[in-house]
Amino acid sequence: MSLAGKVAIVTGSGQGLGLAYAQELARQGASVVINDVRADVADAAVASIVAAGGKAVAVVAAVGSTETAKALVAGAVDAFGRLDILVTNAGILRDTVLWKMSDDDFDAVIAVHLRGTFTCVREAAVHMREANEGGRIICIGSPTGQRGNFGQTNYAAAKAGIVGMVRTWAMELARANVTVNAVIPVAATAMTETVPYFASAIAADKAGQAMPDFFRHDLGFGTAADVSGLVAFLASDAASGVNGQAIGVGGDRLQIWSHPEPVVTEYRVGGWSYDDLTAGFAETFGSAMQSVGEKFPPLPAELAPEPAEAK
């Protein structure tokens, strides 16, 4: 087992993708700290790992505060004597369009996703640097943070911010032999269950059947298990040379996301005045305008959801 003797914290791991990550880390030999806001959910997650022959304990707390970050690191050290791996997965959604989004909607999502990632990574980094045995930090991003998504101002801001922090932490922690990477999963979740486009894929997954190839291959959309292998790999010694990367995974597809890079560069002596831009922007830069949001191809006819009956 590649992670034998290692100790991992996975935030937001009581169910869903986080639980899949925790179970795979345990399957590879790591002892795992489960985290959830509900004790019964956390205890059930621990029980699932123990029943499979692994080791796990629970820390029941809401991610976001420094106090929770300290409790998670202390939970790992108290139970297992060390900390080698942190996976920051905890998050919530408060989706609505910009003009309807309240301060509380925005702040709640930022507090868990962005601030929670910051506080947990900071606490883990302090411990790992003092222990001087290296470490692995894996932060969970989203395609929404890379490209945007209608109705998700708060979530997009948080997930984009996480990737920015990952790039920075990868530099800051390199001398301590701590790698920091972001995983961009595309998988069946509670959020995608509500989207009719994915209905046939979700139905197949729930029935214990393989998702249609259109989803797995063409869209790179799959199950939680399709993501957990990458998380375990990045947590291992085999990934010691992978640092500061944003890696997309889903279904049969794996991707390395690039840094935002200029796609066209032009110069004008004296700079670009209003008149210059008005006269020449469209011709010079128009073909380089970038798309926003995810663009999905039409579903094959056999996978399209049944039209709702008219009332």
Residue 112 contacts residue 92 (beta carbons within 8 Å): yes
User: What SS3 class is residue 37?
Assistant: coil
Residue 189 contacts residue 17 (beta carbons within 8 Å): yes
* Tokens 């505060």, located at residue: 65
The span from the CA of 92 to the CA of 18, in Å, is: 13
135-140 and 7-10 beta bridge pairing: unpaired
Give the chain's end-to-end CA distance (angstroms, integer).
57
Q: Name the token pair of 86.
A: 């942190």
Catalytic residue among 13, 31, 142, 200: 142
Among this protein's residues, is 142 annotated catalytic? yes
Catalytic residue among 13, 21, 31, 155: 155
Q: What angle do CA 96, 97, 103 make, to 5 degrees?
A: 70
Catalytic residue among 6, 21, 159, 228: 159
Among this protein's residues, is 197 annotated catalytic? no
Catalytic residue numbers, as ranges: 142, 155, 159
